[in-house]
Amino acid sequence: MQEQLAAILATATAAAPAIATRPEYESFKARIVGPNGSLTAAMKGMAGVPKEERPAAGRLLNETKGALESLFAATLGRIEAAEIAARLGAPVDPTLPSPDDFAGSLHPLTQVREEVSGVFRKLGFTIAEGPEIESEWVCFDALNTPGNHPARDMQDTLYMPPGTRCVDAPRRGVEAYVLRSHTSTVQIRTMLRQEPPVRIVAPGRCFRRDTVDATHSANFHQIEGLWVDRDVTLRDLKGVLDFFVREMFGSGAEIRFRPSFFPFTEPSFEMDVRSSGLGRLSGRWLEIMGCGLVDPRVFENVGYDASRWTGLAFGMGLERIAMLLYGIDDIRHFYANDLRFLRQFA
């Protein structure tokens, strides 16, 4: 059998270079491993090999099969390469750039985040970040949110399973962990970490138990600001936000404050903007953010002396800003991964 298998392999090796087409390849392969092929006949002959010689014959048969499979693969690869070259009509240089324009671009929300952050950098604000999983104390208690506040209900906040931990999360006793519902948590972490003065903006993802529709998403993005220093007043708040609005929506944009309530600011306001550069929304007052002066109780929670320091805070949804800037009427477009939509912002 050894001579028979050696002859089969030698014949196949000699014939392979002349095979140039797929029909020739299939016929060549069938002559060896087909139902009536030479290797198939040799395998059937194993029945006549003496019992004591079968292990050695089996190993030799497997080695021959492996060598033939490698020969078949190399022959087919050469034929496929020749077919591709024939279709292209010329050799291919794989180092050339693709003729298709598949260049990526920043997501519209990323573009808006960078633009908004750039505006506040002009005013001396720095970028601060924090984890998306937070202790309940940082997310609520430190921000002066009472235990019976609706925002802390299970149907509004996403609570993590028992045993979840967050690296370096400030805690007060035994408490739950949550997916942060606002980036105000970064304000608390920053004030715990450093003494005033503080001037930061905190962009990032937030999570709430919202039913997804044209204007709501369970996952969304915010950017919040904090400025703590001596004698920070409402005049500073209005000046900062007026500058921001004019940079984002045009020099003719106007703002107005409406009294509101937030646990972490006092007084608190909803801020509206009106601009002529908002398409079909031009000339209308549109709510874009909440703001106010930092409540003294928040300072007490982080160890700041409320008699020495005052501060302002504000927060807005990046999706809201992007929808106004680009005339988008459905928040779900941002998360659908539709290239027809995304390429408009390239």
Looking at the structure of the chain, the number of domains it has is: 2
User: Do 231 and 320 belong to one domain?
Assistant: yes
pLDDT of residue 151: 67
Distances (CA, A) of 337 to 168, 297, 318, 332, 333: 34, 43, 18, 10, 8
pLDDT of residue 115: 95
pLDDT of residue 39: 84
For the chain, residues with pLDDT lower than 50 are none
User: Do 63 and 199 belong to one domain?
Assistant: no
Distance, CA of 66 to CA of 229 (rounded, Å): 78
User: Do 63 and 145 belong to one domain?
Assistant: no
User: Do 136 and 197 belong to one domain?
Assistant: yes
Q: From start to end of the chain, where are the E strands? A: 126-127, 133-135, 177-179, 198-207, 219-229, 254-262, 265-274, 286-294, 310-317
Asked whether residue 97 is assigned to any structural domain, the reply reads: no
User: Do 182 and 211 belong to one domain?
Assistant: yes
99-155 residue pLDDT tens: 766 667 899 999 999 999 999 999 999 999 999 998 888 999 899 887 776 766 655
pLDDT of residue 169: 61
Asked whether residue 103 is assigned to any structural domain, the reply reads: no
| Residue 10 φ/ψ, nearest 5 degrees | -65, -40
Asked whether residue 320 is assigned to any structural domain, the reply reads: yes
Asked whether residue 151 is assigned to any structural domain, the reply reads: yes
User: Do 212 and 304 belong to one domain?
Assistant: yes
Distance, CA of 306 to CA of 316 (rounded, Å): 25
Strands 198-207 and 126-127: parallel
**Domain that includes residue 34, residue range:** 2-88
Q: What is the full DSSP assignment across 240-259?
A: HHHHHHHHHH-TT-EEEEEE
User: Do 132 and 185 belong to one domain?
Assistant: yes
Distance, CA of 315 to CA of 291 (rounded, Å): 6
pLDDT of residue 76: 92
> Model's pTM, two decimal places?
0.67
Asked whether residue 261 is assigned to any structural domain, the reply reads: yes
User: Do 135 and 275 belong to one domain?
Assistant: yes
User: Do 258 and 210 belong to one domain?
Assistant: yes
Tell me which amino acid residue 174 is. V
User: With contact defined as beta carbons under 8 Å apart, do 140 and 94 qualify?
Assistant: no
Q: In the structure encoding, which two tokens stand for residue 128, read together?
A: 């601060």
User: With contact defined as beta carbons under 8 Å apart, do 264 and 140 qualify?
Assistant: no
